[in-house]
Structure 1
């Protein structure tokens, strides 16, 4: 069984795979990873992969070092099952690459746009030849709400939950609608522009934030919350001779 450890900006996700089948996903603190000990007792783990976008503290580093299974640490020199055309692979977030790897595994002969809506919103493109061309990074949902509050004198800190209107009727609803609609229109714009260049484009949506899309391209959107985990599992299998 494969152990997938995905340490993000806000939370850590620990997943178990049997071959390519996702067995379980556990959410834990990215500052402690308390769940690791019990997981190793409960499951017969053969190998694992660690991917992190943050610097690990002493507690997490110690827990990982005590694991009795071989760990692959995902980095710029890790062999990948796709062609990476990114000019600075050392600065490429593992989650961005893992997401396109997973999408490519499902549709290896298709042009694919992967949209990951988490702390940031990323847009990644991999072509039908398995070549990852790169992508763009944009502020995520919570980041936009916080920016409007922190970089202005009087605007309040608004949450995504609450009264939602097409056009705001007060400051709170104006901010909520502005942020949510801004993201919707941004995503819709990316899809429309990419489909103009790649008419058979497939679009994957993943990440921790939920969005309601009102576009004419719904039929080409595949929603998969665990796309990054699946990509990390594929990279682990690829490095162990099991493509």
Structure 2
């Protein structure tokens, strides 16, 4: 069994896998991490590997403390990946984006893939049908958009995400919701339209913490899976140990 852990910018997500089957999913805060992992190890004594992907600042030493109980693997740029990295600055490509690209490559072979991760940032990653990672785009996520409107203006309130009823907001609060949510929806649909115009036989994958919130608003057909990163982390690790 494999425990995958993704250290994001705002929270930690984990999942237990039996080969390629997701057994249980977890979400927790940094201060809960040690207790949560201890509980997971007690619940699943057959766990053999702890696989960590991190874009956050958590120290590796924390996970290495579990080495006496299972094998710990940190996903790095030096791992084997199932795509050719065409990024102009490959070492600056986030591990989370590489894992998502690997998952898309392995799960949807022979297709052009666009992976959209709607989290703290919204990332767009393109992998062509020949398994070349081409690059993509990065923009602010929903929470950052709300916070920036509040932090960089004198009077706009800090709101939490809410689906607007219309694209025309008849109050300041409704106008902010429309601008943030509809603005991001239009952005995502625009990227998808550009991708569809350039490639045939494609798959659009939407994941991340805001995936379910956004999915129903998009006009384009997508494959929405909020757990795609953790599934991809499991698939990437299994690919790595089979191709070392």
Q: So what's the TM-score if we normalise by structure 2? A: 0.91
Q: 1:187 to 1:176 in 2, by over 3 A?
A: same
Is the CA contact 1:111–1:127 (under 8 Å) kept in the aligned structure 2?
yes
Deviation of 1:62 (Å): 3.0
Equivalent residue for 2:54? 52
Deviation of 1:72 (Å): 1.4
Q: Distance in 2 between matches of 1:46 and 1:226?
A: 21
Deviation of 1:140 (Å): 0.2
Deviation of 1:241 (Å): 1.5
Q: Distance in 2 between matches of 1:48 and 1:84?
A: 26
For residues 127-206 of structure 1, the aligned pairs below 5 Å read 127-161=128-162, 164-206=165-207
**Which of structure 1's runs of 4+ aligned residues deviate more than 6 A?**
none
Deviation of 1:173 (Å): 0.3
Structure 1 residue 21 corresponds to structure 2 residue 25: no
Q: Distance in 2 between matches of 1:85 and 1:31?
A: 38
Equivalent residue for 2:227? 226
**Helix, strand or coil for the counterpart of 2:205?**
strand
Equivalent residue for 2:111? 110
Equivalent residue for 1:4? 4
Residues 4-23 of structure 1: CA deviation (Å, up to 9, x unaligned): 11111111111111111111
Q: Distance in 1 between matches of 2:11 and 2:138?
A: 19
Identify which range, 40-49 or 202-211, moves more after superposition: 40-49
Is the CA contact 2:12–2:28 (under 8 Å) kept in the aligned structure 1?
yes
Deviation of 1:201 (Å): 2.2
> Is there any run of 5+ residues in structure 1 with no aligned partner, and where?
none
Q: 1:31 to 1:52 in 2, by over 3 A?
A: farther
Deviation of 1:200 (Å): 2.4
Is the CA contact 1:75–1:90 (under 8 Å) kept in the aligned structure 2?
no
Residues 60-102 of structure 1: CA deviation (Å, up to 9, x unaligned): 7335423421111111211112222223233222211111211
Is the CA contact 1:8–1:30 (under 8 Å) kept in the aligned structure 2?
no
Aligned residue pair count: 238
Is the CA contact 1:31–1:56 (under 8 Å) kept in the aligned structure 2?
no
Over the residues paired in the alignment, what is the CA RMSD in angstroms? Answer: 1.8
Q: Distance in 1 between matches of 2:187 and 2:164?
A: 22
For residues 50-129 of structure 1, the aligned pairs below 5 Å read 50-57=52-59, 61-67=61-67, 68-129=69-130
Q: Distance in 1 between matches of 2:90 and 2:200?
A: 28
Q: Distance in 1 between matches of 2:97 and 2:31?
A: 22
Residues 29-53 of structure 1: CA deviation (Å, up to 9, x unaligned): 1344121111112211112211111
Q: So what's the TM-score if we normalise by structure 1? A: 0.92
